[in-house]
Structure 1
């Protein structure tokens, strides 16, 4: 399944246009008992584009996902995050693939939000002229949904960092969210696959740059490339490389008082990002 959003420029979908051109079985699936199941909708990829022939917007369609979906009054507010593994394509190209994408006649000429019971990635990657941009040393789990309550932590492994992780975890869970490091899960044979999966699925990332750990730098770069919100922390600004110093970093001391301050600062920053 995938979300098709046509004509919504400001990340607001008018309630009366939501789930037009959508089979009733799909509407019932995302609205069990008449109430929208946000997690089900967020688990689908999204194709976002202007109406065909709209002179007020560039004729470009983008593929990615929607996050932060919430109902405000009669409208749905959301954030669109483009998939960096797929380039934008023209709205004309989408029109030429309308049948394959399950899009009906004139549907691209009306602002609306539909859900289609097709594999968006399978159709686009099979279409001639669309090149899939993918890393050579690992693969993105593009079919895995983003988990809006999941916070990923990238930090050096070692006993000396256990109190720091405990403080981060307490801060995150105090907000009703879940907190994981790669060593909390074992889903793949290679730990890097677990790291990539965690970054892909999470809502935001906390990166501890302390000790200039090369693995953490690498994982932070992946998170930035995927468009995740990244909260940088470090015990000293001397550990933050030049290219990352333009991004705000929470500094902390590794003692009782310092970790208590970290918990408060981190919670405040997370609340700001999720607001």
Structure 2
């Protein structure tokens, strides 16, 4: 079994409370009866089970972070239960959106995402977590990525030299991605961190697809392609010369193009075909 505790304003670090009238909402009768002490609730028994502490969903649920943890103590005072609890830092936060994707496995009904309550579910919480949710990622030390990946399904990032000669190439890539209802960005489109490498890595990490232009054998692009491959992103390699593709990547397909009006049209057609294959699988 596990406790599902949902609050509108979210949870503090270690102490909060719950109205007794909200306890056992969305809980099977046979489960709630097992914690019945006549006119009271067997709070001591309840605290032996793991918990999900979740905030009520607003917008698409991608902003709310739910945490797994345990109740240290639960004391009834009038119509309120005073809770002391702790989060399990070995389990990364989950968004409501992630939980909703497999809500049936958690035994959570639709209305529970927008209702402050304390439910008890006759489900093995850790078995569900192991089966459906991604484990904590190994975090690098040179730059930062979030513990839980949050990929934007329509985001395509472009890695290429910061050179005016590639402006037409980038404009063509923006044109074809827009036609597919995708959003195309390059690292120099943003400035959110003091170090540019952090902006680049954040962009790659949030992207579904990464296009890398290897023309000119730019070492930064090679480095960024390596990051994208390591993070498991779909990578499309393009180049003006097959000799600019690194030896270790020559076994992968790439798109060769000419940097002129006719060549960019051909590039657009080839990359569009590859994008359509990716987004339709």
Map of 2:57 onto structure 1: 29
Map of 1:146 onto structure 2: 151
Q: Give TM-score, length-normalised by structure 1.
A: 0.57
* Residues 224/63 of structure 1: CA separation in 2 closer, same or farther (3 Å cut): farther
Structure 2 Cα separation of the partners of residues 43 and 264 of structure 1 = 40
Residue 182 (structure 2) pairs with residue 177 (structure 1): yes
Aligned residues: 192
Residue 199 (structure 2) pairs with residue 194 (structure 1): yes
* Residues 65/159 of structure 1: CA separation in 2 closer, same or farther (3 Å cut): farther
- Unaligned regions of 5+ residues in structure 1, if any? 1-19, 48-61, 70-75, 78-101, 125-131
Residue 233 (structure 2) pairs with residue 228 (structure 1): yes
8 Å Cα contact 2:92-2:147 kept in structure 1: no
Residue 209 (structure 2) pairs with residue 204 (structure 1): yes
Structure 2 Cα separation of the partners of residues 254 and 263 of structure 1 = 12
Deviation by residue 1:127-155 (Cα, 9 ceiling, x = unmatched): xxxxx733222111346732111111000
Deviation by residue 1:199-253 (Cα, 9 ceiling, x = unmatched): 1111110000000000000000000000000001001111001100111101111
Residue 112 (structure 2) pairs with residue 107 (structure 1): no
**Pairwise mapping of residues 1-275 of structure 1 onto structure 2 (< 5 A)?**
29=57, 37=60, 40=61, 106-108=123-125, 133-142=138-147, 145-275=150-280
Q: Tell me, what secondary structure is at the counterpart of 1:162?
A: helix
Q: Tell me, what secondary structure is at the counterpart of 1:145?
A: coil
Q: Tell me, what secondary structure is at the counterpart of 2:57?
A: helix
* Residues 114/215 of structure 1: CA separation in 2 closer, same or farther (3 Å cut): closer
Shift of 1:106: 3.9
8 Å Cα contact 1:200-1:226 kept in structure 2: yes
Q: Tell me, what secondary structure is at the counterpart of 2:153?
A: coil
8 Å Cα contact 1:45-1:63 kept in structure 2: no
8 Å Cα contact 2:161-2:221 kept in structure 1: yes
Structure 1 Cα separation of the partners of residues 263 and 64 of structure 2 = 38
* Residues 64/161 of structure 1: CA separation in 2 closer, same or farther (3 Å cut): farther
The structure that is strand-richer by fraction is 2
- Unaligned regions of 5+ residues in structure 2, if any? 1-26, 29-50, 69-90, 103-118
* Residues 197/105 of structure 1: CA separation in 2 closer, same or farther (3 Å cut): same
